[in-house]
């Protein structure tokens, strides 16, 4: 009996230790990713069933809660703007000259026809506040040593109830992220193809998003330019800036 | 002989009235029921063809597989040349391009902010072109309740219930939020040109009709269409002919590995309509079979009762030297006469009800309140040439069959026992 209690205690201690280790890793990932203000120029390459489309955008991001994106090409999407403040997302379309709040089912629509949804865009990037984590083991991906970590949703308001992430042991960048539904179905797979060291941070600059329920080769997300700690005027994150 | 039997029938009400009434009610019900069911089936097929399937439909192979999701990203491209080609190859058919779409209607307030939103689905048809085909097929002009027909590409017709729900009026600006052919979210402004009521519960709740050229622009579908529908010029679905057309068309585009190559599907092979069409074609046979079976049993039973009642009569006739065959024959002749009389008046009554319901119809809106089926709320009977025979022939057959079975007892009578039986 004593032996049994001892084994259980050791196992619990081990699990607790694993969880603490995983939480520390996640915090380091978030620290690496976090910046007060960011300016990003990105290109989305959408490999659809019929054609490949390139969409270029400029984004201004303040912390984790505010972002403003303006699409600059192709011609059809030029001038489309999106503003995210906390849990709200507004979209401006030059064709209608209207600002409309994206909510409800619309959030589950594909973002510009890509493998991402508006909901993905809205999701709070702070993993530690929504998921409990545990290390599953070590692995190697694209010649990088990684921790394999399982994330389990602690709150109901997240799109993915379970995630399996691979975190680079040296650079604290998530190299692969498998996102699952409550039923256990793999919904999305995110793979990092390229990392760059910019302004003292390792950042994924070429990512592939794949909607696993959709045919096609997925969506490439390429960061063309990134600047940290840029000055962003406060009007940028107001609804009136959408129509400017 | 016939005159003698007729006199006998008319003078003895019990010989005549019950069988004639039975045949009359059976034939009348059959004729009416057949015409009614025929009307229901025809209406389902007609409305579904007009709004969803056409008599034949051209889409891409990929679109055909995922049609329920309205996958405009898998739409037909180079539609203008495809239309020219099918119009040349099959000139007996009206060919119309369409785009089906769904999304949200957003109504702005004075500041341009969202006042109200509602989910919608709709079709984009050629409203502003010179071709009046779509107007004829969908009878749009006659369905306009207020406002006018769409005359500009971004004019839109909104169903009356949706107009009420959104609190909009003719002339208002509304924004359609949908997805383009590339899958991007699109917001496009339209003007409410008019309100329409198709009298179809499944449509009238949240339906809009837009102009095809306008919707092509809004959904980034230049020279593309979700589907091309074909309609026979007499507006009647012809199963064999449509199969021949589809076969001829598909033999020109037989690249099965190209999911974007066009494919033609007949109405029969869409929306599970095959079961309805098969049922409709078997319906005549089923009705005749049920009718003959049921009526024969009733008339057999009536013949047996009549046989019991006329037990003495048959005995006397046998005693007087009439042969069993002759009595049996006269019984059959009697039933033929009652069958003809019952069937004639039954058919007339059934046709009268059928024609009345073809003209007036029955409004079944309350039944279709939550139905997703595209069928007119007013269901009408459809009297066809078959309605004239569907009850008449089985009416006669059932009467003869009933008498023939019940009359067999005549042959069981033994002449030597007759007087004993009669004394008893």
**Shared-domain flag, residues A239 and A155:** no
Instruction: Tell me the helix, strand and coil percentages in chain A, rounded to 5.
Output: 20, 50, 30
| C-alpha–C-alpha distance, residues B85 and B82, integer Å | 5
Task: Write the CB contacts of B352 (distance below 8 Å, at least 6 apart in sequence).
Answer: none
pLDDT at A16 over 60: no
Q: How far apart are CA A175 and CA A217, in angstroms?
A: 18
In chain B, domain spans: 2-47+275-423, 56-236
Alpha-carbon gap, residue A185 to B63, rounded angstroms: 25
Closest to B283 in 3D by CA, of B390, B419, B168: B390
Q: What is the pLDDT of residues B163-198, one digit of tens each?
A: 999 999 999 999 999 989 988 889 999 999 999 998
- When pLDDT is averaged across residues A29-35 and rounded to a whole number, the result is 83
Give mean pLDDT, residues B40-45.
Answer: 84
- For residue A156, pLDDT over 90 is answered with no
On whether the CB atoms of residues B376 and B273 are closer than 8 A, the answer is no
Residues A132 and A239 in one domain: no
pLDDT score of A240: 87
B contacts of A112 (beta carbons < 8 Å): 182-185
ipTM value of the model? 0.79
Residue B347: name the closest of B389, B318, B288, B317 by CA: B389
Flag whether pLDDT at A6 surpasses 60: no
Following CA atoms B410, B414, B419, B423 in sequence, which dihedral angle do they give, to the nearest 10 degrees?
Answer: -70
Question: Which of the four pLDDT bands, split at 50, 70 and 90, describes residue A10?
Answer: low
pLDDT of residue B307: 63
For residues A192 and A105, membership in a common domain is answered with no
Q: Is the pLDDT of residue A155 over 90?
A: no
Does residue B372 surpass a pLDDT of 80?
no
Same domain, A171 and A208: yes
Nearest to B394 by CA among B1, B15, B30: B30
3-state SS assignment for residue B32: helix
- Residue B337 is predicted with a pLDDT of 86
| pLDDT band at residue B305 under the 50/70/90 scheme | low
The shortest CB-CB distance from A98 to any of B175, B179, B259 is to B175
Confidence of residue A105 (pLDDT cuts 50, 70, 90): confident
| Residue-averaged pLDDT of chain B | 85
- pLDDT one-digit tens code per residue, B73-122: 999 999 999 999 999 999 999 999 999 999 999 998 888 888 888 899 99
pLDDT band at B353 (very low <50, low <70, confident <90, very high): very high
pLDDT band at B10 (very low <50, low <70, confident <90, very high): low
Q: Which residue has the higher pLDDT, B314 or B252?
A: B252
> A77 to chain B, minimum CA–CA distance in Å?
9
Contact (CB, 8 A) for A69 and A57: yes
Please tell me which of the candidates B62, B177, B182 has its beta carbon nearest to residue A106.
B177
**pLDDT on residue B299:** 67
User: What is the pLDDT averaged over residues B385-410?
Assistant: 82
Which among B183, B184, B187 is the nearest to A98, CB-wise? B187
Q: Confidence class of residue B133 from pLDDT cuts 50, 70 and 90?
A: confident
Q: How confident is the model at residue B55 (pLDDT cuts 50, 70, 90)?
A: very high
Domain range enclosing A30: 2-34+124-223
B113 — contact with chain A (CB < 8 Å)? yes
**A91 and A137, same domain (yes or no):** no
- Our CA-based measurement puts residue A52 at a distance from the nearest CA of chain B, in whole angstroms, of 10
Task: Give residue B61's pLDDT.
Answer: 93
Question: Residues in chain A, how many?
Answer: 244
- Packing angle, helices B13-48 and B2-11, rounded to 10: 90
**Residue B13 scores a pLDDT above 90:** no
Q: How do strand B185-196 and strand B155-159 relate by DSSP bridges? A: parallel
For residue A49, which residues of chain B lie inside 8 Å, CB to CB?
A: 62, 73-74, 259
Name the minimum distance, in Å, from the CA of B259 to any CA of chain A.
Answer: 10
Each residue of B268-283: pLDDT tens digit?
888 777 777 777 777 7
B179 touches A at CB < 8 Å? yes
What band does B424 get if pLDDT is binned at 50, 70 and 90?
Answer: low
User: How would residue B319 be classed by pLDDT, with cut points 50, 70 and 90?
Assistant: confident
Looking at the structure, do residues A48 and A168 belong to the same domain, yes or no? Answer: no
Whole-number pLDDT of residue A14? 54
Q: Phi and psi for A220 in degrees, rounded to 5? A: -90, 135
Which residue in B380, B379, B377 sits closest to B161, CA to CA? B377
Do A110 and A189 sit in the same domain of this protein? no
Question: Which tops the pLDDT comparison, B86 or B378?
Answer: B86
CATH number at residue A134: 2.50.20.10
The residues facing A100 across adjacent strands are A91
Contact B180, B219 (CB under 8 A): yes
A129, A219: one domain: yes
Q: How many CB pairs under 8 A join A and B?
A: 70
Measured between alpha carbons, how far is B245 from B235 in angstroms, rounded to an integer? 16
* The pLDDT value given to residue A127: 84
Q: Quick check: A106 and B185 CB within 8 A? A: yes
Residue B369 in this model has a pLDDT that exceeds 80 = no
Nearest to B114 among A76, A101, A111 (CB): A101
Average pLDDT of A46-63?
A: 90
pLDDT band at A101 (very low <50, low <70, confident <90, very high): confident
- pLDDT of A31: 86
Residue B408: both structure tokens together? 């067999």
Establish if B258 touches chain A: CB-CB under 8 angstroms.
Answer: no
Q: Residue B349: pLDDT above 90?
A: yes
- CA angle B161-B163-B168, nearest 5°? 160
B309 vs B390, which has greater pLDDT?
B390
Closest listed residue to residue B156, CA positions, set B125, B194, B119: B194
How many separate domains does chain A show? 2
B118: contact with A, CB 8 A cutoff: no
Calpha distance A174→A124 (Å, rounded): 16
Pair A201, A194: CB distance under 8 Å = no
**Inter-chain touch A93–B186, beta carbons under 8 Å:** yes
B209: helix, coil or strand? strand
Q: Is B183 on the interface with A (CB under 8 A)?
A: yes
B74 touches A: beta carbon within 8 Å: yes
Residues of chain A with C-beta less than 8 angstroms from the C-beta of B190: none
B-chain residues near A114 (CB < 8 A): 183
Q: Would you place residue B409 in the very low, low, confident or very high pLDDT band (cuts 50, 70, 90)?
A: confident
Beta strands in B267-328 (DSSP E): none
CB atoms near residue B185 (< 10 Å): 22
- Whether residues A109 and B185 touch (CB distance < 8 A) is answered with yes
Q: What is the mean pLDDT of residues A229-241?
A: 89
Query: Which residues of chain B neighbour A93 with C-beta distances below 8 Å?
Result: 186-188
Which residues from chain B sit within 8 angstroms of residue A109, using beta carbons?
179, 185
**Which pLDDT score is estimated for B250?**
92
- Specify the pLDDT at position B414: 72
The pLDDT assigned to A18 comes to 58
Looking at the structure, tell me whether residues A78 and A57 fall in a common domain: yes
Q: B423 or B78: which carries more pLDDT confidence?
A: B78
Q: Where are the alpha helices (DSSP H) in chain A?
A: 2-33, 118-122
Cα four-point dihedral sign B226, B232, B235, B238:
negative
Residues A142 and A172 reside in one and the same domain: yes
Residue A164 is predicted with a pLDDT of: 95
């Amino acid at each position: 009996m004593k032996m049994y209690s001892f084994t259980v205690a050791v196992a619990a201690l081990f699990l607790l230790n694993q969880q603490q280790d995983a939480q520390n890793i996640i915090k380091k990932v978030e620290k690496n990713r976090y910046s007060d203000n960011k300016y990003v120029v990105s290109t989305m390459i959408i490999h659809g069933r019929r054609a490949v489309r390139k969409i270029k955008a400029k984004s201004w991001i303040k912390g984790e809660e505010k972002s403003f994106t303006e699409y600059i090409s192709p011609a059809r999407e030029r001038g489309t703007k999106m503003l995210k403040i906390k849990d709200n997302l507004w979209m401006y379309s030059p064709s209608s000259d209207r600002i409309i709040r994206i909510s409800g089912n619309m959030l589950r629509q594909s973002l510009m026809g890509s493998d991402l949804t508006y909901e993905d865009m809205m999701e709070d990037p702070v993993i530690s506040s929504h998921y409990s984590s545990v290390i599953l083991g070590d692995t190697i991906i694209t010649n990088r040593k990684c921790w394999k970590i399982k994330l389990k949703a602690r709150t109901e308001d997240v799109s993915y109830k379970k995630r399996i992430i691979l975190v680079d042991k040296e650079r604290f960048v998530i190299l692969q992220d498998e996102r699952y539904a409550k039923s256990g179905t793999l919904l999305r797979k995110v793979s990092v193809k390229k990392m760059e060291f910019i302004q003292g941070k390792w950042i994924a600059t070429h990512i592939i998003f794949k909607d696993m329920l959709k045919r096609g080769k997925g969506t490439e997300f390429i960061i063309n330019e990134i600047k940290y700690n840029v000055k962003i005027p406060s009007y940028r994150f107001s609804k009136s800036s959408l129509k400017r | 002989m016939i005159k003698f039997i007729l006199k006998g029938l008319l003078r003895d009400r019990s010989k005549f009235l019950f069988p004639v009434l039975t045949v009359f009610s059976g034939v009348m019900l059959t004729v009416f029921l057949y015409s009614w069911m025929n009307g229901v089936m025809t209406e389902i097929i007609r409305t579904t063809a007009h709004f969803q399937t056409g008599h034949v439909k051209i889409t891409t192979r990929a679109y055909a597989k995922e049609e329920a999701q309205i996958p405009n990203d898998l739409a037909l491209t180079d539609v203008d040349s495809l239309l020219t080609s099918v119009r040349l190859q099959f000139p007996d058919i009206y060919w119309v391009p369409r785009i089906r779409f769904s999304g949200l209607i957003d109504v702005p307030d004075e500041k341009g902010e969202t006042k109200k939103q509602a989910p919608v689905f709709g079709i984009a048809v050629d409203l502003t072109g010179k071709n009046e085909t779509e107007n004829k097929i969908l009878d749009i002009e006659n369905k306009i309740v207020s406002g006018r027909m769409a005359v500009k590409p971004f004019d839109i017709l909104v169903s009356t219930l949706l107009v009420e729900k959104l609190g909009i009026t003719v002339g208002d600006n509304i924004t359609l939020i949908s997805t383009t052919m590339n899958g991007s979210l699109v917001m496009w402004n339209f003007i409410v040109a008019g309100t329409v009521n198709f009298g179809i519960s499944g449509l009238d709740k949240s339906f809009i009709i837009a102009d095809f050229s306008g919707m092509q622009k809004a959904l980034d579908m230049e020279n593309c269409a979700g589907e091309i529908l074909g309609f026979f010029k007499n507006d009647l679905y012809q199963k064999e002919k449509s199969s021949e057309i589809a076969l001829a068309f598909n033999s020109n585009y037989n690249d099965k590995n190209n999911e974007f190559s066009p494919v033609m599907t007949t109405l029969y092979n869409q929306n599970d309509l095959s079961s309805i069409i098969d049922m409709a074609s078997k319906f005549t046979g089923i009705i005749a079979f049920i009718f003959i079976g049921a009526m024969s049993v009733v008339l057999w039973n009536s013949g047996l009762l009549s046989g019991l009642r006329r037990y003495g009569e048959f005995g006397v006739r046998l005693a007087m030297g009439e042969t069993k065959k002759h009595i049996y024959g006269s019984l059959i002749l009697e039933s033929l006469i009652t069958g003809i009389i019952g069937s004639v008046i039954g058919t007339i009554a059934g046709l009268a009800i059928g024609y009345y319901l073809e003209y007036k119809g029955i409004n079944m809106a309350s039944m279709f309140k939550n139905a997703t089926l595209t069928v007119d709320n007013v269901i009408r009977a459809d009297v066809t040439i078959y309605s004239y025979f569907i009850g008449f022939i089985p009416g006669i057959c059932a009467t003869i069959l009933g008498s023939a079975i019940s009359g067999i007892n005549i042959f069981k009578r033994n002449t030597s026992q007759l007087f004993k039986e009669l004394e008893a």
